C-alpha cells in the first residue's frame, strides 16, 4: 500500500463548479498535511496546509482533515480554467519534528470554460 494515495484523474469540472479532490494516507501518526499545485512544466507550489481535524478555508479553497479516517480533501469553489493543474496531496512522515514530505501521485484537474 502506498503511503499517500490519490485518484490520478483526470477530474473534469465545468467553470464555476466545485472541484473535490481526495487523498488517503497510511501513517497514523502523521500530523501535517499539505496540498500543492503543479502546473504543467512547473514546480509544485503550496496552496493549503492543515494540521488539525476539521475544515480550513482560504479564499476559494477549503482543506478538510479527518485523522480517524486518515483522509484529507481539497475543495475548490467557483473553479476557474486557471485552476487546471495537477494537485498533489502531501503528508509529513518525518521522525520527531523533522521534514519528510511524502507526496501522492497527484490528481489532474481540468476546468472547462
Partner 1 sequence: KAGVTQTPRYLIKTRGQQVTLSCSPISGHRSVSWYQQTPGQGLQFLFEYFSETQRNKGNFPGRFSGRQFSNSRSEMNVSTLELGDSALYLCASSLQGTANEKLFFGSGTQLSVL
Residues binding partner 1 (CB under 8 A) = 31-32, 34, 43-46, 49, 51, 88, 92, 94-95, 97-106
Q: How far is the CB of 99 from partner 1 (least distance, A)?
A: 4
Task: Output 45 or 57, the one with its CB closest to partner 1.
Answer: 45
Peptide bond into 76 cis (omega under 30): no
Q: How far is the CB of 113 from partner 1 (least distance, A)?
A: 27
Burial class (CB in 10 A: 0-12, 13-18, 19+), 75: middle
Nearest residue to 93 (alpha-carbon basis) of 48, 36, 27, 49:
27
Task: Output 89 or 111, the one with its CB closest to partner 1.
Answer: 89
Q: In this structure, what C-alpha cell is assigned to residue 32?
A: 501535517
Task: Output 49 or 70, the one with its CB closest to partner 1.
Answer: 49
Q: For the chain, what is the radius of gyration of the CA atoms?
A: 14
| Alpha carbon distance 67, 86 (integer Å) | 24
Q: How far is the CB of 49 from partner 1 (least distance, A)?
A: 7
Q: How far is the CB of 33 from partner 1 (least distance, A)?
A: 10
Amino acid at each position: 500500500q502506498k503511503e499517500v494515495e490519490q485518484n490520478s484523474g483526470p477530474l473534469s469540472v465545468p467553470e464555476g463548479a466545485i472541484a473535490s479532490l481526495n487523498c488517503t494516507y497510511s501513517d497514523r501518526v502523521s500530523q501535517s498535511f499539505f496540498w500543492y499545485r503543479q502546473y504543467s512544466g512547473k514546480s509544485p507550489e503550496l496552496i493549503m496546509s492543515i494540521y488539525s481535524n476539521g475544515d480550513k478555508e482560504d479564499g476559494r479553497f477549503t482543506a478538510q482533515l479527518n485523522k480517524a479516517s486518515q483522509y484529507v480533501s481539497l475543495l475548490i469553489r467557483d473553479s476557474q480554467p486557471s485552476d487546471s493543474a495537477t494537485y498533489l496531496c502531501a503528508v509529513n512522515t518525518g521522525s520527531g519534528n523533522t521534514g519528510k514530505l511524502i507526496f501522492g501521485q497527484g490528481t489532474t484537474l481540468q476546468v472547462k470554460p
